[in-house]
Amino acid sequence: MPFVYNGKKASCFYVTIQKRFLVVTAKHIFENPPANGTRIDYFSFQDKEWKIGSGDFYTDNDSLSDIAVICVYKNVNSGNPFDIGEKYIGLGQDIFFAGYPYGMIPDISVDNSYTKPLPFVKKASLSALEYKDSTLIIWGDGHNNPGFSGGPVFNMILKDGQLRTQLIGVISGYRIQQDVVHINEAKTQYYTKENSGILKATSISSLERIVDMIE
């Protein structure tokens, strides 16, 4: 879902874990993250309009983990239409990520019968897995854009004879490449910043660690 906090646009998604209904997004959206358990307000785009929501904010102490959680409801019995985990991931496989780049919200409904905002979905190749402290970083070869931060990363798995979606991470950003500006083939002191095409995501294991903190 499109997500806004203090004027900063990002992406988010909903998930139920340990009977907690959670809004999941990227931690870096919160420039000064509130203390765990703090009640905060946010906006999400639903039914073709921005709606205010509230919940308890949580994240972990690992500075490399870029996941934030807003706990909206507790004691929820509903499940998820996807699997959660990293059991079936491997280098070189296709992964997918979804979100709302640059705050763009496509409208696919002709007769207003479909009111949920359909996200942009892009494909990448899982290029590397890197453990840093207690956080698993997922690196992918795919062109990410501003606004995808906080969106889900997933792959498709064959389980019990059925093709299923597996949630494996949360989009954090992309690696920036600096290139020297040349004028008539001569180097200058100026640089440009470009998207390298290498995306970065935080593994879903960090989300499960955060949920354990919720009382």
More confident residue, 82 or 147: 147
- The pLDDT of residue 6 is 93
Averaged pLDDT for residues 164-179:
88
**Mean of all residue pLDDT scores within the chain:** 88
> Distance (Å, rounded) from C-alpha 199 to C-alpha 174?
4
- The pLDDT of residue 215 is 76
Q: What domains lie within the chain, and their CATH numbers? A: 2-211 (2.40.10.120)
Predicted confidence band of residue 203 (pLDDT cuts 50, 70, 90)? very high
Question: pLDDT digits over 102-157, tens only?
Answer: 999 887 665 566 667 889 999 999 999 998 888 999 999 999 999 999 999 999 98
Nearest to 171 by CA among 134, 130, 199, 133: 199
* CA 47 to chain CA centroid, nearest Å: 21
Q: Where are the beta strands (DSSP E) in the chain?
A: 2-5, 8-11, 13-17, 20-25, 39-46, 49-58, 68-73, 83-84, 94-99, 120-132, 135-141, 152-159, 162-183, 186-203
Label residue 124 exposed, middle or buried (CB < 10 Å: 0-12, 13-18, 19+): buried
Model confidence pTM above 0.95: no
- The pLDDT of residue 94 is 94
- The pLDDT of residue 7 is 92
